Amino acid sequence: METPNHNSDTHFDENLYTIEWSDIENTEIDYDNYLNDIENFFRQDFENNIPEEEIY
């Protein structure tokens, strides 16, 4: 029979992993940064892809 490899004395602090609705509700979204990320994603994708005309 195998014995567990973990320490059963470890205490799990549930409060560290709990998100309250007020945390989400009061968060301000950085739209400029978000849009920049999207734009960069598509730019990189476009630069790394072969245009359709060159496939044939």
In tens digits, the chain (56 residues) has pLDDT values of: 556 666 666 776 766 778 888 888 878 888 888 899 999 999 988 888 766 666 55
Which residue, chain included where needed, has tokens 């549930």? 14
CA distance 35 to 42: 11
For 42, the token pair is 């598509």
In the chain, the DSSP E strands lie at none
Which residue, chain included where needed, has tokens 């009061």? 26
Which residue, chain included where needed, has tokens 């309250």? 20
Instruction: Write down the pTM of the prediction.
Output: 0.39
For 30, the token pair is 């950085």
